[in-house]
Structure 1
Amino acid sequence: MDKKILIVEDDPNISNIIKMNLTLVHYQAVQVYDGLAALEALEREKFDLVILDVMIPKLDGFTLMETIRPRKVPVIFLTAKTAVFDKVHGLKLGADDYMVKPFDGIELLARIETVLRRYGKEETEMRIDDIRVYPDKRFVTLQGEPVELTPKEFDLLLVLLVNKNIALSREQFLDKVWGIDYYGDTRTVDVHIKSLRKKLKLQDRIKTVFKIGYRLEV
Structure 2
Amino acid sequence: MKPPAARVLLVEDDPALQLMLRYNLDKLGYRVEAETDGEAALEKLEQFRPDVLVLDWMLPGMSGIDLCRRIRSNPQLRDVPVLMLTARSDEQDSIQGLDSGADDYIVKPCSIEALDARLRALLRRVQGTHDVLSFADLRLDLQTHRAERNSRALTLGPTEFRLLEFFMRNPRRVFSRDDLLQKVWGANVHVELRTIDVHIRRLRRALNEGDEPDFVRTVRSAGYALDDTA
Change (3 A) 1:50 1:22: same
What is the one-letter code of the residue matched to 2:43?
E
What is the one-letter code of the residue matched to 1:118?
R
Aligned residue for 1:114?
A: 121
What is the one-letter code of the residue matched to 2:7?
K
Aligned residue for 1:99?
A: 106
Aligned residue for 2:94?
A: 87
Q: Could you tell me the percent identity over the aligned residues? A: 40
Report 1:5-84 matches (<5 A): 5-69=8-72, 70=74, 71=77, 72-84=79-91
Deviation at 1:42, TM superposition (A): 1.0
3-state secondary structure, aligned to 1:17: helix
CA distance in structure 1 between the partners assigned to 2:90 and 2:117 by the alignment: 23
- 1:21, 1:109 within 8 Å by CA — same for their partners in 2? no
CA distance in structure 1 between the partners assigned to 2:49 and 2:60 by the alignment: 22
- 1:116, 1:122 within 8 Å by CA — same for their partners in 2? no
CA distance in structure 2 between the partners assigned to 1:31 and 1:51 by the alignment: 9
Normalising by structure 2, we get a TM-score of: 0.51
CA distance in structure 2 between the partners assigned to 1:39 and 1:86 by the alignment: 23
What is the one-letter code of the residue matched to 2:37?
D
3-state secondary structure, aligned to 2:13: coil
Deviation at 1:36, TM superposition (A): 0.8
- 1:6, 1:50 within 8 Å by CA — same for their partners in 2? yes
- 1:4, 1:48 within 8 Å by CA — same for their partners in 2? yes
Q: Which runs of 5+ in 2 are unaligned?
A: 135-230
Deviation at 1:76, TM superposition (A): 0.4
Taking only aligned residues, the RMSD between alpha carbons, in angstroms, comes to 1.7
Runs of 4+ in 1 over 3 A off after TM superposition: none
CA distance in structure 1 between the partners assigned to 2:123 and 2:40 by the alignment: 24
Normalising by structure 1, we get a TM-score of: 0.54
Deviation at 1:27, TM superposition (A): 0.9
Deviation at 1:5, TM superposition (A): 0.5
Instruction: Please tell me whether Structure 1 or Structure 2 has the larger radius of gyration of its CA atoms.
Output: 2
Report 1:132-211 matches (<5 A): none
Q: Which runs of 5+ in 1 are unaligned?
A: 124-218
CA distance in structure 2 between the partners assigned to 1:111 and 1:58 by the alignment: 27
What is the one-letter code of the residue matched to 1:83?
D
Deviation at 1:13, TM superposition (A): 1.1
CA distance in structure 1 between the partners assigned to 2:35 and 2:99 by the alignment: 24
3-state secondary structure, aligned to 2:85: strand
